[in-house]
Amino acid sequence: MKLADLSDIEEAMSKAVEATQRAFNTIRTGRANPSLLDKVMVEYYGTPTALKSLANISIPDASTLTIQPFDPGSLTDIEKAISLSDIGLTPNNDGKVVRLNIPPLTNERRKEFVKLASKYAEEGRVSIRNIRRDGIDFFRKQEKDSEISEDESRDLQEQVQGLTDKYIAQVDKALADKEKDIMTV
């Protein structure tokens, strides 16, 4: 990653938080949510294609997702891709749409999902810390090359640490929100 200044560091950290939030969205909470299918890739004419590019995904009620393909010929491919994915839902194909009934989560399954969310949050924190390390190394190198003074370098490093704290707090808040969402019956 090429860093030029604090705004680049802040942008990279912001993207790490967004990526963590997208990962959280793929975790099932017991309610129907189209983002559950974000990672499902369908083999469409020999090319892996995102499911949301091939079909209209709707929520008729709190525990059902319906998937209506734009091309009716892809219905069996969509059904197969959902069956092979790791979302743990069984598709029902009625010839026109694929229905996914989302069963209520058991307490044990909720705890597994909380662990998964914690893992995603830790990956986000590690990503932010790596950005911090790269930023601090960049400013130390500038100081060593006499491009900036020692005081400027120290100030910039403190600002990078402040950004790190801010974005890690955002990841922690997103994790707390997701855990609450998962554990709500």
Is 48 inside a domain boundary? Answer: yes
Is 173 inside a domain boundary? Answer: yes
Instruction: Supply the Cα-derived Rg of the chain in whole angstroms.
Output: 22
Beta bridge partners of 64: 61, 101
Is 76 inside a domain boundary? Answer: yes
In the DSSP assignment, the letter for residue 102 is -
**Residue carrying structure tokens 């749409």:** 97
Which among 77, 101, 125 is the end of a domain?
101
Tens of pLDDT along 91-117?
888 888 889 888 887 888 888 889 999
pLDDT-based confidence at 163, cuts 50/70/90?
Answer: very high
The pLDDT score that the predictor gives to residue 169 is 96
Is 146 inside a domain boundary? Answer: yes
- Please tell me which residue, 34 or 12, carries the higher pLDDT value: 12
- Please tell me which residue, 3 or 61, carries the higher pLDDT value: 61
Which among 44, 78, 101 is the end of a domain?
101
Task: Examine the domain organization and report whether 134 and 84 are in the same domain.
Answer: no
Number of domains present in the structure of the chain: 2
Task: Examine the domain organization and report whether 95 and 51 are in the same domain.
Answer: yes
Task: Examine the domain organization and report whether 90 and 39 are in the same domain.
Answer: yes
pLDDT-based confidence at 29, cuts 50/70/90?
Answer: confident
Task: Examine the domain organization and report whether 40 and 95 are in the same domain.
Answer: yes
Which stretch of 32-41, 140-149, 170-179 has the lowest confidence by average pLDDT?
A: 32-41
* Residue-range definition of the domain harbouring residue 11: 6-25+106-183
Mean pLDDT of 154-183: 93
Q: Contact 13/1 with Cβ under 8 angstroms? A: no
Task: Examine the domain organization and report whether 126 and 175 are in the same domain.
Answer: yes
Indicate the burial class of 55 (C-beta count within 10 angstroms; 0-12, 13-18, 19 or more). Answer: buried
Task: Examine the domain organization and report whether 96 and 154 are in the same domain.
Answer: no
The pLDDT score that the predictor gives to residue 185 is 64
Is 1 inside a domain boundary? Answer: no
CA angle 138, 164, 10 (to 5 degrees): 65
Q: Contact 118/126 with Cβ under 8 angstroms? A: no
**Greatest alpha-carbon span in the chain:** 70
Q: Contact 82/89 with Cβ under 8 angstroms? A: yes
The pLDDT score that the predictor gives to residue 2 is 52
Is 85 inside a domain boundary? Answer: yes
What's the predicted TM-score (pTM) here? 0.73
Which among 50, 82, 101 is the end of a domain?
101
Indicate the burial class of 43 (C-beta count within 10 angstroms; 0-12, 13-18, 19 or more). Answer: middle
- CATH at 48: 3.30.1360.40
pLDDT-based confidence at 3, cuts 50/70/90?
Answer: low
Tens of pLDDT along 51-80?
888 888 888 887 888 989 898 888 888 888
Task: Examine the domain organization and report whether 122 and 150 are in the same domain.
Answer: yes
